[in-house]
Amino acid sequence: KPNPPNTTCTTTISSPFTGLPKLNWWGLVDLYQWEGFWYHDIVLEAAMAAKSSFTALHDDVFVAASPKTGSTWLKALVASIIHRGGGDGGGDCEGGDEDDEDADDPLRYHHPNDLVPSLELQKKWKVRSAKHGLSTALPNLCLILSLTRIKINQDLKTSSCKIVYITRDPKDVFVSLWHFTNTQRSPEQGPFPFDDAFKSFCNGFHSFGSFHEHVLQFWNASLKSPKKILFLKYEDLKREPKGEVLKLASFLGRPLANDGKAEKIVQRCSIERLKNLEVNRDGVDPWSGFPKSSYFRLGLVGDWKNKLSMEMKDKLDEITRVKFEGSDLSI
């Protein structure tokens, strides 16, 4: 891996990250490189702790993704499939009246990030009980942002936990990441310079980067354990949402009959609906510090065409081609 030009080594004795390569990411936060990937410090601390002591339980379902690949959508879909109506999740929903056909919908009352909390942001995983214990509405779901660094690799062999991974065209990922990250910058700062952001993304210098290594890690793991890891693509979900939802439900051991439930889940999880729900409109996600609304922007395939030059497109496509060469993976 190339070293970032502004990498420094931390030397503070009290820091748990002493000696790790460090870089400042888009003027926002410091990232530390650990076991080949870049981490925000609060996430790294939890990831290190999780690696040594987190154990997956049999009914755990992990949503896994690199940021901006559609993980919020996938969280909503997984939560809807596992806790779809009929009382198996409705009990968690406060409010709503009985005549309301969406009263049993957890998404109506919870941002997807609350339904599927991040293992690496949510420190409460440490105190979960023998079964579950995360202080969330639907506690046996969890987001993981990395695979090797928590010991799920090992747990996959001994537990029946499952992982659903989503990825997306890196060009759209980069543009989405740039917009998302800019929500943290003040009007005085303005957006982060686009060309610099692009260069750093191409070099893999971003939170949980590199993107390509992240994807490959889960792709290879899914080939080894197809019954434990389902590998999805954002573009497939956009093209054929019902088919992908049926596939996802079967993988999770909650197959859907052909009685309109799959269509209902697709509709409930649509970006148009989610972005307009009150629960997702205001406030800040307490774990990431980003506005709740910033997780729902356009939700399109190919938005990169509005931001990337042809030269940038060719460069990123070439990086993707080289990185994935021989892997049988195309995105």
Residues forming the site for ligand A3P (CB under 6 A): 65, 67-73, 172, 176, 179, 269-271, 274, 295-299, 303
Nearest distance from C-beta of residue 154 to ligand A3P, angstroms: 26
User: Is the CA virtual torsion 298, 222, 146, 312 positive or negative?
Assistant: negative
When the beta carbons of 55 and 293 are compared against ligand A3P, the nearer one is 293
Nearest distance from C-beta of residue 178 to ligand A3P, angstroms: 9
What tokens appear for 27 in the block? 């003027």
When the beta carbons of 12 and 306 are compared against ligand A3P, the nearer one is 306
Nearest distance from C-beta of residue 180 to ligand A3P, angstroms: 6
C-alpha 288, offset from chain centre = 12
When the beta carbons of 156 and 265 are compared against ligand A3P, the nearer one is 265
Nearest distance from C-beta of residue 165 to ligand A3P, angstroms: 11
What tokens appear for 144 in the block? 């993981």
Looking up tokens 């889940």, which residue turns up? 265
Task: Measure the CA–CA gap between 185 and 192, rounded to whole angstroms.
Answer: 8
Nearest distance from C-beta of residue 303 to ligand A3P, angstroms: 5
When the beta carbons of 126 and 240 are compared against ligand A3P, the nearer one is 240
When the beta carbons of 128 and 292 are compared against ligand A3P, the nearer one is 292
Number of H helices, E strands in the chain: 13, 8
What tokens appear for 277 in the block? 């729900």
When the beta carbons of 159 and 270 are compared against ligand A3P, the nearer one is 270
136: helix, strand or coil:
coil
> Running DSSP on this structure, what letter comes out for residue 26?
T
Peptide bond into 210 cis (omega under 30): yes
Nearest distance from C-beta of residue 211 to ligand A3P, angstroms: 12
When the beta carbons of 60 and 169 are compared against ligand A3P, the nearer one is 169
Residues 6 or more apart whose CB falls under 8 angstroms from that of 283 comprise 291, 292
Tell me if 49 sits within 8 A of 122, measured CB to CB: no
Task: Measure the CA–CA gap between 185 and 294, rounded to whole angstroms.
Answer: 13
Nearest distance from C-beta of residue 76 to ligand A3P, angstroms: 6
Sheet architecture: strand order including 8-9: 8-9, 21-25, 29-34, 37-40
